Structures are given as C-alpha cells and as structure tokens.
Structure 1
Amino acid sequence: MGAKKEKMVMDLIVLSLMLFVLGASGWTGEIHGRVVCDICGDSSLGPEDHVLEGAEVAVLCITKSGEVLNYQAFTNAKGIYTVAETMPESDRWDACLSRPISSFHDRCTNLGSGSVGVKFSYNHPSGYSHTVRTFVYKPVDVPSYC
C-alpha cells in the first residue's frame, strides 16, 4: 500500500510539472549571418573568396518591454554566426542591429564598404529566424592575380 501511494504522488508531481511546462508561454528567436573575405576587393563574391572563421560580430536587440540585450558571436568554420534566445513572449525582440567587430584572419582585416552594420525589425513568430546580409572584409594587400 505504501508503494502505491508513493507512485500516485510521483505521478501527480510529473503531471503537475508537465502542465506547468506546457502552460508556460515562451518565445524563441534566432539571428544568423555570414562573414567572408573578398580577396580581390571587387565587391562581388567569387571562387577566390572564402569565409572567415572566428570573425567577431555584435548583435544588439531591444525587446518589446524596452530592455537592451547585447550579444557577441563568432563565426564557425562555415563563416556563419548565430545568436539565439528563449524568453517570455512579452519580452521578445522588437528591433536589432547586427555589426561586424573584427576579423582575426591575418590577411583579411579591412572592413568592406557597406559592412558597417544592419538595423532590422524582428517581427518573426516564435521558432523562426532572421538572416542578416553578408559582412565583407577585404585583404590588406590585393593579390596580383586580381
């Protein structure tokens, strides 16, 4: 009889936790983009260009409740950075600014024109993402084959 009662209490606790989790309204969002090195500095991405791994990007977002959130991201081996957040629906992102901070690539450190930052409204429902246009760095010295 004691084991039955203990199982009933455990079942009640599990059911309560499930109802709590399912009843909580949460919002998730994601921002991602890419950083590349424009080897010839011609502002068009070609086969000679490559992604920049380890490039630093800052993402600032203001929430619907007025809070400012500052994120720092680094690009992966594919040159992609990602910022993701889960929060209450009432605090979700409203508008954001994504901007490149630095490239750690030794030969591609000059920020290309037009890559100073991107402001955008974030009006996606929960579970969706926003893709920011590609940020471009140019080499200090353009190779002679360009």
Structure 2
Amino acid sequence: MRDLVRDLNAVYRNTPALWRLDTDPAGFRWVVGDAADDNVLAFLRYDAEGAPLLAVSNFSPVVRHDYLLGVPDDVPGWQEVLNTDAGRYGGSDVLNPAPLKPDPRPWHGCPSSITLTLPPLTTLWLRPT
C-alpha cells in the first residue's frame, strides 16, 4: 500500500492534468460513464495546455480483454503510467503493452479508439506517448 501511495503521489505531482483545472469544466470529459453492465468508468482530465490523462476503472472482479475505449484523435499513442493491478502492489500483474496505438474507429463519442485489457478491480492511468 505504501508503494502505491508513493507512486500515486509521484504521478499526481508530475501530471498537471490531474490538478490544474480542478474547478474548470474544460479540465474533464467523460468517456464512459454508463457502462453499468461492465462496471467500467473512464474519463479524460486535461491540463491548461490541453494535455490529457486517461483514467479507466474496472470495478468488476474479472479481466476485460479487448475492451474498446474512445480516445481523442490527436494523441499518437497511450502508455500506462499507473496500474493498481501491478504485481508490486500485490495485484495479478495484468498489464497493457506500451504504447497503445489508436485506431481511427470512432467510439464513445470520440474520433478514435484503443483496445485495452482491463485488469480486475483496478484503475489505470494512461498518458500520451
């Protein structure tokens, strides 16, 4: 738990999208807020310059393979910067390869999409590569 909190704090400090526009609607955009059957939530946070961070949470106890998720089309690739299922935190170490390249297929109201493996009971934070 101590390692996870340390890593959360480090990523938080170095990712202005997580804190810079906290009170501004321009700093937040839902990607998935209605996937009750999947128990998945996903949203984008933006810093003042428009750099995003993608947060995805899987609240179910099963791995979701090939989960399609909408993303902006101006990002060449996405890389995990935090995965709460990592083995060093006591998780099952279900990870995504880096980088995840967007597909031009629109999804969730976004112009592009990526295909992820969502570990069970976890949150992922992804940043542009």
After TM superposition, the score normalised by the length of structure 2 is 0.31
Higher Cα Rg, which structure: 1
